Amino acid sequence: MDKTHEKFMRIAIKLSLTNIDKNGGPFGAVIVKDGVIIARGVNRVTASNDPTAHAEVEAIRKASKKLNSFNLSGCDIYTSCEPCPMCLSAIYWAHIDRVFFGNTKDDAKAIGFDDSFIYDELALPLKKRKVRVRQLLRDEAIAGFKKWENFEGKIEY
């Protein structure tokens, strides 16, 4: 393994360790572009009362702000744990090139951070999910998509 990758992973791991003492979960992440860390993130879910404040999402938010772009192509993310479904989705939406992780989702599950129910839920039909999902007013809602489709000033992502 390349020593540079190990260096960035060790920084993500150190963030996960120090975050525990700051009322956060044991997760840390760094985003790197051209060999330079452009953003760091730690789990701030309980500290901020924000269920989306995972380390990877926090790092993506900071990197996007720093680069003034929602497109993080050319960046890598190093995270102390395999990304959860939300974080992995955010990584895809951000167009991050590569993900390097330390702990696995099974390691996280073993200490109480179990995301397997989300993977299970996503595989179910809408009517069988635990969170009730119901489609309403599609005929009216589609107007926004039609307007977007014809909008000349759109910025696609």
pLDDT of residue 156: 78
109 pLDDT exceeds 60?
yes
Structure confidence at residue 96 (pLDDT): 98
pLDDT (average), residues 22-43: 96
Q: What is the mean pLDDT of the chain?
A: 94
Looking at residue 1, its pLDDT comes to: 55
Q: Does pLDDT of 118 surpass 60?
A: yes
Q: Are 60 and 90 in contact, with CB atoms under 8 Å apart? A: yes
Share of the chain above pLDDT 90, in %: 85
For 122-157, what is each residue's pLDDT tens digit? 899 989 999 988 889 999 999 999 998 898 887 877
Which pLDDT band holds residue 17 (cuts at 50, 70, 90)? very high
Tell me which of 6, 56, 152, 156 is the catalytic residue: 56
Let me know: does 8 contact 30? Beta carbons within 8 Å. yes
Q: Count the neighbouring beta carbons within 10 Å of the beta carbon of residue 141.
A: 10
Q: 20 and 43 in contact (C-beta within 8 Å)? A: no
56 catalytic per annotation? yes
